[in-house]
Amino acid sequence: MRIYDIILKKRNGGTLTKDEIAAFIDGYVDGTIPDYQASALCMAIFFRGMTDEETAALTDCMARSGDMIDLSRFGDLTVDKHSTGGVGDKTTLIVAPIVASLGGKVAKMSGRGLGHTGGTVDKLASIPGMRVTMAREAFLRQVEEIGVAVIGQSGNLTPADKKLYALRDVTATVDSIPLITSSVMSKKIAAGSKSIVLDVKAGSGAFMKTADDARILARNMVAIGKACGRKMSALITDMNRPLGTAVGNTLEVIEAVKVLRGASKGDLYDVCVALATEMTMLFADLPHEKAEARVVSAIESGDAFRKMQAWVTAQGGDAAWLETAKYGDGAALAVPVVSPADGYITCMDTEEIGTAAVILGAGRSKKEDEIDDSAGILVCKKTGDAVKKGEILATLYTNDAAAVAPAEKRYLDALTVGSAAPEATDLIFDIIR
Ligand code: URA
């Protein structure tokens, strides 16, 4: 079977067989198919799409491309959560300790930043001392003892996704429903949790720009998960503005701590409570109201934050730093972006805001780029807020003076300021169970 013929077939709108998909994944993982042919096939899939059967076959081949983790020792208590990626999305840092404090077992493998979106592993790695790699047995022991361990996709778990994810990131082939479905669900299935909650983002900062596309993606992923014997639920949440106020690694950890300590309420708190509630409903088999009450009480009692401290300590991180770190630490420059006019913010191009953060150093433009943990943006005004000319809209943090002007321009260009307040919109568009 020649990879050239497989690319040509998909480019011309054909339907790939299971064997053709397996030949692509096997050849790409063992290195006989080079990046340029894999990226050509991804681009063909981007434009031509895939049938449900092709997507299921791709997911299965990717999940089996490496090890499959066996979490059966934890019975039905294992629960995972995955976001399709957004700007300011630090929900894992918040929901993982909440759910672990309620008895769930969170054995989680997370990704690095992709495109304009940040990655949980990069955020965790910004905590001084925090290890994001761990041997399999140590990882499972930590889940047993503390209830939560989060590391990067490690060892030989879904090597196909590891390679494809990095390739798609730099070839403009991220925002494709079959490629996202297979990427997310192959990792989730190989990672072994019985229950899986998906946070499918929709809007200008998400890979899915509309709630309708996000719904299709969510339904695809829920169906594939159920077919593999998992308990599934998916929330479709708004990404037409950054989630919370912090964008960038250290900044986001600090904001996550504020939410866990009950010191910050708002959109981020609401999405985290909704996600942790779904996770608790699944792993503890509870109705919505009871699960939500437990989640809220885990935050208010301090149990969830204590769990975060125990988790960070177990992975070598400095738990005391969580309480002392301040916005702007480590960044030589803190530059306010001010409003050019009086009015209301009527719209935020959230992808552009994510890109402004990448320019400041918070993400990677190329696979091998280094991240500046302290770089990012603290957003002060969001869609719907009234602003006065000269008022601070956001603060940019960086150690790269040359990045300030382009990031500031990008940020301002991402905002629309109008004379009337826009209509309020939902934060959670839908739940698919
Ligand atoms: N998150 C993933 O894990 N994969 C994608 O393709 C997009 C978001």
**Per-residue confidence (pLDDT) for residue 92, from 0 to 100:** 96
Ligand 1 centroid to Cα of residue 85, in Å, is: 7
CA distance 261 to 245: 16
Residue of the CA atom closest to atom 2 of ligand 1:
184
Angle formed at CA 239 by CA 237 and CA 244, multiple of 5 degrees:
95
Phi and psi angles of residue 263, each rounded to the nearest 5 degrees, phi first: -95, 0
**Per-residue confidence (pLDDT) for residue 120, from 0 to 100:** 92
**Per-residue confidence (pLDDT) for residue 35, from 0 to 100:** 97
**Structure tokens, 54:** 């092709």
Tell which CATH architecture fits domain 3-49. Up-down Bundle (1.20)
Strands 246-247, 376-379: parallel, antiparallel or unpaired by DSSP? antiparallel
Q: Ligand 1: which of 183, 185, 186, 199 to mutate, most ligand atoms within 8 Å of CB?
A: 183
Burial of 319 (0-12, 13-18, 19+ CB in 10 A): middle
Ligand 1 centroid to Cα of residue 36, in Å, is: 20
> Is residue 225 in contact with ligand 1, taking CB distance under 6 Å?
no
Q: How many CA atoms lie within 13 Å of 402's alpha carbon, on the beta-carbon side?
A: 0
CA distance 346 to 246: 20
Instruction: Give domain limits for the chain.
Output: 3-49, 72-323, 333-418
SS3 66: coil
pTM comes to: 0.91
Residue of the CA atom closest to atom 1 of ligand 1:
84
**Per-residue confidence (pLDDT) for residue 425, from 0 to 100:** 92
For 333-418, CATH gives 3.90.1170.30
DSSP symbol at 241 = S
Q: Ligand 1: which of 84, 173, 198, 220 to mutate, most ligand atoms within 8 Å of CB?
A: 84
> Is residue 44 in contact with ligand 1, taking CB distance under 6 Å?
no
Give the residue among 268, 251, 253 at the shortest CA–CA distance from 361: 251
**Per-residue confidence (pLDDT) for residue 190, from 0 to 100:** 95
pLDDT 10s digit of each residue in the chain, 433 long?
A: 899 999 999 999 999 999 999 999 999 999 999 999 999 999 999 999 999 999 999 999 999 999 999 999 999 999 999 998 899 999 999 999 999 999 999 999 887 776 777 789 999 999 999 999 999 999 999 999 999 999 987 778 899 999 998 899 889 999 899 999 999 999 999 999 999 999 999 999 998 999 999 999 999 999 999 988 899 999 999 999 999 999 999 999 999 999 999 999 999 999 999 999 999 999 999 999 999 999 999 999 999 999 999 999 999 999 999 999 999 999 999 999 999 999 999 999 999 999 999 999 999 877 677 899 999 999 999 999 999 999 999 999 999 999 999 999 999 999 999 999 999 999 999 999 9
Cβ–Cβ < 8 Å for 256, 122: no
Residue of the CA atom closest to atom 5 of ligand 1:
180
Which residues are known to be catalytic?
82, 161, 168, 183, 187
* Domain over 72-323 is classified CATH 3.40.190.10: no
Q: Ligand 1: which of 174, 182, 221 to mutate, most ligand atoms within 8 Å of CB?
A: 174
Ligand 1 centroid to Cα of residue 389, in Å, is: 39
Phi and psi angles of residue 120, each rounded to the nearest 5 degrees, phi first: -60, -40
